Structure 1
């Protein structure tokens, strides 16, 4: 079953799809992610989900770089119940597995977005 996002926001550096229980971010090819960008994503997620728990899927189908401080990984999302990364190469999988040490929520990597969505749905069901 194909489910459409409840809300779609496109910024100059990222496309964010908001679903009932999780959000998906897809960064623009070639951009450099910085702490200010992470802060904007945090702000948008807090506005959309308010105090409800939600999951986060980072859809890394495009190549981009990160200029982040280690503290930016300790994202200010107290209602985050799961974090998933969709990778496209072995290198991006290795980077994701390094990043998992900084994420406080349950964390998993996937080769496809559909697998990540399925896992996120299962994680959401476990909350109820």
Structure 2
């Protein structure tokens, strides 16, 4: 496992790993197209053209403008999206958000489960790339 990098992005903390990133947004923020741009820029600069999975660990309550998914789906090397939460409302919201994402999208109660899923998605992507 490679080095991890924690970055304060203003609306939360992003932890960058080799092939996935985990974000924990601050309580009460609104994640909009404008506020998420810094996150998108970090992902693009860190992963460049390498495939990666985005994991949002929803420890706190915050709002998500579904318009961000239109921008997020433009990230060509984003190969999966996961939401981690045990809160009923966050899980309900994630189920709705899933409709706006055209990539593998899963909801988990434990961060470890999401990381294992990310590893699986990454390995499947690498295998698919080798066979094409």
TM over 0.5: yes
Given the two structures, how large is their TM-score scaled by the length of structure 1? 0.89
In structure 2, the residue matched to 1:126 is 124
Task: Specify which of 67, 71, 77 is matched with residue 67 of structure 2.
Answer: 71
- Secondary structure at the residue paired with 2:44? helix
Task: Specify which of 14, 25, 28 is matched with residue 26 of structure 2.
Answer: 28
Long gaps (5+) in structure 2 = 127-132
Q: Deviations over 1:3-38 (max 9, x none)?
A: 675211012211000111100011011222222111
Task: Specify which of 48, 52, 55 is matched with residue 54 of structure 1.
Answer: 52
In structure 1, the residue matched to 2:6 is 8
Runs ≥4 in structure 1, deviation > 6 angstroms?
none
Long gaps (5+) in structure 1 = none
- Secondary structure at the residue paired with 2:43? helix
Q: Structure 1's 125 and 87: CA in aligned 2 closer, same or farther, altered over 3 A?
A: same
Given the two structures, how large is their TM-score scaled by the length of structure 2? 0.87
Query: Which one has a larger percent helix, Structure 1 or Structure 2?
Result: 2
In structure 2, the residue matched to 1:38 is 36
Q: Deviations over 1:79-114 (max 9, x none)?
A: 111100002211111110100010111010000111
- Superposed CA RMSD: 1.5
C-alpha distance in structure 2 between counterparts of 1:35 and 1:5, whole Å: 29
Q: Indicate whether 1:95 and 2:93 are aligned.
A: yes
